[in-house]
Amino acid sequence: MSERSERTDQLGAGNPSPLWEVFVRARRGLAHTHVGSLHAPDAELALRNARDLYTRRQEGVSIWVVPASGITASSPDEKDAFFDPAADKVYRHPTFYDVPEGVAHL
């Protein structure tokens, strides 16, 4: 179900590492949603990179990375180590910053 246009398979310089589509379940009760793609030589690295790239702000309780030929999902057992570290990085959210009164458009 790759979102690539058909030309992608024909092009490509040298030996690029495979492309993976990334799906994130944002909260319990929701379906996994496609969030984008990334490159990685294998599934383990793809999952790792997806965690860093698409859930830096702790969006997501589960990630799937999908190569052309299969699906790999993060295991629920690992979710503590996978997702908790972002919880304290409040400075990633705009509301962390005090904006003096009267400042518009910021």
Partner 1 sequence: MYGNDFPGEDAPGGLLGEVEAAEAALRAAAERDRSAAGPGEDLAAYFAEVVDADQKIEPRDWMPEAYRRTLIRQIAQHAHSEIIGMQPEGNWISRAPSLKRKAILLAKVQDEAGHGLYLYAAAETLGISRDELVELLLEGRQKYSSIFNYPTLTWADVGAIGWLVDGAAIVNQVPLCRCSYGPYARAMIRVCKEESFHQRQGFEILHTLAHGTPAQKAMAQDSVDRWWYPSLAMFGPPDGDSTHSAQSMAWKIKRFSNDELRQRFVDMCVGQAEVLGLTIPDPDLRWNDERQSYDYTQPDYDELMRVIKGNGPCNRQRMAHRRRAHTEGAWVREAAAAYAAKQRNKEKVAA
Partner 2 sequence: MNGPFAFTLGLGDDALIAAQRLAEWTTHAPEMEEDIALANIALDQLGAARLLLSYAAELEGAGRDEDALAYLRDDREFRNCLLVEQPNGDFAVTMAKLLVLSAYQLPLYTALAGCADERLAAIGAKTRKESAYHLDHAALWVRRLGDGTDEAHRRMQAGIDQVWPYAHELFAAQPGAPVDPATLRGDFDSTVAAVLAEATLTLPESGWVPAGGRDGVHTEHLSFLLAEMQVLHRAHPGARW
- Contact residues toward partner 1 (CB under 8 A) are 3-8, 11-17, 19, 24-27, 30, 33, 35-39, 41-42, 45, 53, 56-57, 59-60, 89, 91-100, 102-106
Residue type at 90? V
Contact 21, 1 (CB under 8 A): yes
Encoding tokens for residue 51?
């965690």
Which listed range, 1-9, 18-26, 61-69, 80-88, lies at the site for partner 2 (CB under 8 A)? 80-88
Residue whose pair of structure tokens reads 């790792």 in the numeric block = 48
* Residue 57 sits in the site that holds partner 2 (CB under 8 A): no
* Residue 82 sits in the site that holds partner 2 (CB under 8 A): yes
